[in-house]
Amino acid sequence: MDGMKIGIFGGTFDPPTIAHLNAAKIFIKELQLDELWFVPAKQNVLKHLAFASPMQRLEMSTLLVEGEEKMCITDIEVNAPGPSYSYNTIKALEYTFPKTEFWLLGGSDILTNFTQWHKVEKLVKLCRVGILLRLPDTMNVVYTRIPNEFRNVVDIINHPMPDISSTEVRTKMKEGKPVSHLLKPSVYDYIVENQIYSSQETVEAVK
């Protein structure tokens, strides 16, 4: 692990979508990462309570990265006590792997509440932050979301990603609309088999 450059891609992943997978590939290429670790949160304090359980989201994320080069999963937040904070996660990883360079990754939407992050001033001293442009955001809009004192540690990747959200997938499944094109086949099958996000009637409708 010494000298490696590792991206930490955290999120609720409720569920993990093709957009998450494509974003991970872009992060690896553009930031020249040795590895990218998906980090499903037990409970994101800045978002709604998750619909799928932590273990279900961990298992879906595992299926998402299966067979993907340079990607893996860590359960560090799922198994940690209390809510999930990026600062606690990065600090724990820095302690375990002191000679590894960590990058905290996310879509440009996460910057809307950047100043509300837990111990953000200390967090940006531990790692750099990689941000992928997410439509309909523009570079100028994203740049204005970053406080002046943090701009030297945030790198914005100008590779606009379609706005495909986990919320959209959940809504479509509840309405019985097709979602298989938004999910990796193994993740889709897992959702259907475990009847997540929908009633039995809705699950049958989206097969």
Q: What is the DSSP string of 131-187?
A: EEEETT--HHHHHHHS-GGGGGGEEEEEEEE----HHHHHHHHHTT---GGGS-HHH
Residue spans of the chain under pLDDT 70: 44-49, 199-207
Whether the model pTM is above 0.85: yes
Q: Which strands form 154-161's sheet, in the order they lie side by side?
A: 71-73, 35-40, 5-11, 101-107, 128-134, 154-161
CATH number at residue 49: 3.40.50.620
- Tell me, yes or no, whether 93 lies in a domain: yes
**Per-residue pLDDT tens over the stretch 111-128:** 888 888 899 999 999 999
Considering its fold, how many domains does the chain have in total? 1
Question: Can you read off the two tokens belonging to residue 141?
Answer: 């809009």
pLDDT given at position 201 = 37
- Tell me, yes or no, whether 31 lies in a domain: yes
pLDDT given at position 134 = 87
Closest CA to 164 of 53, 12, 15: 15
pLDDT given at position 202 = 35
pLDDT given at position 119 = 94
- Tell me, yes or no, whether 189 lies in a domain: no
- Tell me, yes or no, whether 157 lies in a domain: yes
- Tell me, yes or no, whether 18 lies in a domain: yes
pLDDT given at position 40 = 96
Residue 112 structural domain: 5-164
- Tell me, yes or no, whether 84 lies in a domain: yes
- Tell me, yes or no, whether 192 lies in a domain: no
**Per-residue pLDDT tens over the stretch 35-56:** 999 999 987 665 666 789 999 9
pLDDT given at position 205 = 34
pLDDT given at position 207 = 36
- Tell me, yes or no, whether 197 lies in a domain: no
**Per-residue pLDDT tens over the stretch 50-75:** 789 999 999 999 999 999 999 999 99
